[in-house]
Amino acid sequence: MTEDSEKVSVLFVCMGNICRSPTAEGVFRHHVAEAGLDHLFEIDSAGTHAYHVGEPPDRRAQEAATRRGFSLVDIRARRVAEDDFERFRHIIAMDEDNLVMLREQADPAQRDKIRLFLEFGSGPETEVPDPYYGGAKGFERVLDLVEDASRGLLELLRQR
């Protein structure tokens, strides 16, 4: 990565954009800033559904993130837009259902940029579980997975 290279654009996507994808956005932003690379990245999140457009992340997601030093306060839910497929170089789905929806929505030439987030993690899991209907432990588990995959994604992007 060089100073004069085009910004690396990353969009994290889950269903409603209030739990997993804003957590991924906040954690990845933190790691990128910590590495001194925030000026080289465009990072955002969105949902495949419009259930919560304009809302902040789930209170439980914010509290869990804050306990670990991550901020989600400036994030507001939005739905994936048609131009996101052109705008973002990396579109990262939290689970298989959202991966399928994104690939169906994208033009065939754009489908290769859509991947599962945990492909970048070190564990055996393939999906970030939706913590919405569970308790606090679910949000902590999401953070564990997101932190690990964020480090892996950043390392991969730094090598390019």
Q: Which residues are catalytic?
A: 14, 20, 130
H helix or E strand, kind and range, residue 46 = strand 41-47
| Residue found under tokens 């419009």 | 50
CB atoms within 10 A of CB 96: 11
CB atoms within 10 A of CB 1: 12
Q: Where do runs of H (alpha helix) occur along 35-135?
A: 59-67, 84-87, 96-105
Alpha carbon distance 115, 64 (integer Å): 25
